[in-house]
Amino acid sequence: MAKAPETFNINPPMPPKENLPSLYNLPNESVINKNSLDEQLESVENLPTMYDLPSEYIGDEGVPDEFHVFQGQLLRETFQPPKYFPDKYFVGVDINFYYDKTHILWYKRPDWFAALEVPRLYNNKELRYSYVLWQEKVSPFIVIEFLSESTENQDLGKTFRESGEPPTKWQVYEEILKIPFYITFDRVTDELIAFRLKDLKYEPFTAIDNRFYLEELDLTLGLWQGKYEEIDRLWLRWYDKAGNLIPNNVERIELERSKKDFEKEEKEKALARAALLAQKLKDLGIDPNSI
């Protein structure tokens, strides 16, 4: 039986990979002495960091399928809120989110979320293993879940908390984290459902042409029929305020290439026009270099 550590270092140096904590040496909440835990929670310095908490799945929860991976990537690549510099927000795709300092191993794993006014890197230097609320101190502004048959009921708030069990995903998003916007997308039916927090409760957020404008981000979230990762289907992605597509990484490269090709073509046309004019001047007996 694992013994609970007495303290946690809030800013430990990055440990060697082979020394990182695993599920086998983390404290089991069921055996942690309550008095000892209360003492630990008196100061945030005694709470575990992302280095101390497991970053992989606990138990038999499965792994994301291709759609989850590609859809998360597309949303990450096109999320560019003009009101925030890239180093002032964090986008999490399928990583553990620890939210309760009194139950340090309770977590949810959103398919996609964005937190604003937090550094892109953990402590401004490390890629995150997970998102730990008591360290970050900022809840997500928006969470998106990609529905599947096995998770649909809990994603849509149709499950209830069992006695002694952690709160449901809906309870965590609505009641504990109070996330302003919660979106679900069903890849089978292509149904997009949005909820907005109002008076501390989620209410449906009506779409216009399957798009939602989020004023706080100055961005629009909506569906798009097109090819991504060589798969042509209906995808969820970000648009700007005016409804123009925000390019993903591949599109950005293609746009830059097109811009360079256009500039090169225009330069060649200008040189050709200049040469033609120079020849006409010569035909008139005028030295073009004297003009």
Summarised one tens digit per residue, pLDDT across range 183-209 is 999 999 999 999 999 999 999 988 888
Residue 172: Cβ-neighbour burial (10 angstroms; 0-12, 13-18, 19+): buried
Statement to judge: residues 67 and 190 lie in one domain? yes
Is residue 275 within a helix (H) or strand (E), and if so which, with residue range?
helix 249-283
Statement to judge: residues 265 and 133 lie in one domain? no
Statement to judge: residues 99 and 227 lie in one domain? yes
Statement to judge: residues 91 and 152 lie in one domain? yes
Instruction: Kindly give the parts of the chain with pLDDT less than 50.
Output: 1-38, 40-41, 60
Statement to judge: residues 159 and 237 lie in one domain? yes
Q: Which domain holds residue 259?
A: 255-290
**Contact yes or no for 121/129 (Cβ under 8 A):** no
Query: What's the confidence (pLDDT) of residue 26?
Result: 45
Query: What distances in angstroms separate CA 44 from CA 7, 41, 132, one per listed residue?
Result: 10, 7, 12
Q: What is the pTM of this model?
A: 0.74
Statement to judge: residues 179 and 269 lie in one domain? no
Specify if 102 maps to a domain: yes
Please tell me the distance from the alpha carbon of residue 152 to that of residue 77, in angstroms, as a whole number. Answer: 25
The tally of domains found in the chain comes to 2
Specify if 36 maps to a domain: no
**Contact yes or no for 92/112 (Cβ under 8 A):** yes
Pairing of strands 201-204, 211-214: unpaired
Query: Of 213, 229, 246, which residue is a domain's last?
Result: 246
Query: What's the confidence (pLDDT) of residue 154?
Result: 77
Please tell me the distance from the alpha carbon of residue 34 to that of residue 28, in angstroms, as a whole number. Answer: 12
Q: Which residues contact 211 (CB under 8 A, 6 or more apart)?
A: 220, 221, 222, 223, 239, 243
Statement to judge: residues 242 and 277 lie in one domain? no
Statement to judge: residues 273 and 212 lie in one domain? no
Statement to judge: residues 192 and 115 lie in one domain? yes
List of E strands, 99-190: 107-108, 112-116, 131-132, 142-147, 181-186
Q: Which two tokens stand for residue 283?
A: 């035909």
**What is the biggest distance separating any 2 CA atoms in the chain, rounded to whole angstroms?**
102
Query: What's the confidence (pLDDT) of residue 63?
Result: 61
Please tell me the distance from the alpha carbon of residue 263 to that of residue 115, in angstroms, as a whole number. Answer: 38
Specify if 44 maps to a domain: no
Specify if 107 maps to a domain: yes
Specify if 22 maps to a domain: no
Query: What's the confidence (pLDDT) of residue 57?
Result: 65
Query: What's the confidence (pLDDT) of residue 39?
Result: 52
Specify if 41 maps to a domain: no
Statement to judge: residues 153 and 264 lie in one domain? no
Query: What's the confidence (pLDDT) of residue 262?
Result: 76
Tell me how many degrees the CA angle 258-70-139 measures, rounded to the nearest 5.
Answer: 105
Specify if 39 maps to a domain: no
Statement to judge: residues 81 and 193 lie in one domain? yes
Q: Which two tokens stand for residue 229?
A: 């990762």
Query: What's the confidence (pLDDT) of residue 43?
Result: 61
Statement to judge: residues 116 and 84 lie in one domain? yes
Closest to 141 (Cα-Cα) out of 71, 73, 99, 196:
196
Q: What is the CATH number of the domain that holds 218?
A: 3.90.1570
Please tell me the distance from the alpha carbon of residue 261 to that of residue 254, in angstroms, as a whole number. Answer: 10
Q: Which two tokens stand for residue 61?
A: 């929860």
Specify if 4 maps to a domain: no
